[in-house]
Amino acid sequence: GAGVSQSPSNKVTEKGKDVELRCDPISGHTALYWYRQRLGQGLEFLIYFQGNSAPDKSGLPSDRFSAERTGESVSTLTIQRTQQEDSAVYLCATKGGSNTGELFFGEGSRLTVL
């Protein structure tokens, strides 16, 4: 499809396990963002990639969280040793070259840590 695609759409895991979430961006979009959305809350910025520049990791809540992206391709967000407070929807968004803040969001990956 033409939009941002995220997988899995739902993930249930046990506390202490590692999880990997995937984001397929819109082709040609150089900027990619990960946000976390807890139930009934707004979006918390996690990490930002722009082309081949060093990512802005300022929003990652702990060293259990990491993300990778090679060039303008797929990104993966990894959460190690998951905790119950990691339960949330993880949203990926990408942005094209326009000088606006229009981010194109995927439908998110809902993570539940038991």
Hey, is 1 helix, strand or coil? coil
Residue 103 binds to another protein (criterion: CB under 8 A):
yes
Question: H or E segment at 96?
Answer: none
CB of 86 to another protein, least distance (A): 17
Instruction: Determine the Cα–Cα distance for residues 82 and 8; give it in Å rounded to an integer.
Output: 16
CB of 81 to another protein, least distance (A): 26
Rg of the chain on CA atoms, in Å: 13
Site string (4-23) toward another protein, x via CB under 8 A = x-------------------
- Which is closer to another protein, CB of 71 or CB of 97? 97
